[in-house]
């Protein structure tokens, strides 16, 4: 009798710890949705923070391009090199002309991969 009760409790315990296959799949899908939503929120919050707000910007180019590549991108956009970064494919630049409102667009057209606010990038450089 005691063995039957113990066996019954063990079987009940096993049933609660093992989820059926469709519930396991549902749980995994919910985790993917949660991770996606967290990354989406981080992206939405970080975009306005990283957008260039002043004349100094950090320019990121292809990592295999080297230092000459980032300098060529800045020069092609009519910019001036302000400071180099820890990596040779990152640099801080500013517009060489006083009233260049499309400097960031010119950097992207010249081949920059990413252009962010220079004040924020100072922490990385």
pLDDT digits (tens, 9 = 90+) for 66-90: 788 899 999 999 888 888 877 888 8
Tokens encoding 73: 């991108």
Q: Give the chain's residues under pLDDT 70.
A: 1-26, 48-50, 53, 99-100, 121-125
pLDDT at residue 76 in the model: 92
pLDDT confidence of residue 5: 53
Residue 67: which domain range? 56-121
35, two tokens = 């991770």
Residue 84 bridge partners (DSSP): 91
Same domain for 36 and 69, yes or no, is no
CA–CA separation, 65 and 93 (whole Å): 17
Answer for the pair 101, 54: CB distance below 8 angstroms, yes or no: no
| Whether 31 and 68 share a structural domain | no
Residues 40 and 71 in one domain: no
Query: What angle is formed at CA 46 by the lines to CA 41 and CA 50, rounded to 5 degrees?
Result: 165
* pTM of the full structure: 0.60
């Amino acid at each position: 009798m005691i063995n039957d009760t113990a066996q019954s409790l063990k079987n009940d315990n096993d049933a609660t710890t093992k989820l059926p296959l469709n519930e396991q799949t549902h749980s995994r899908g919910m985790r993917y949705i949660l991770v996606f939503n967290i990354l989406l929120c981080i992206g939405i919050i970080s975009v306005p923070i990283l957008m260039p707000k002043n004349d100094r910007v950090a320019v990121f180019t292809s990592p295999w391009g080297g230092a000459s590549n980032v300098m060529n991108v800045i020069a092609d956009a009519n910019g001036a090199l302000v400071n180099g970064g820890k990596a040779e494919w990152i640099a801080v630049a500013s517009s060489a002309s006083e009233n260049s409102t499309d400097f960031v667009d010119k950097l992207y057209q010249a081949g920059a991969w990413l252009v962010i606010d220079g004040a924020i990038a100072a922490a990385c450089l």
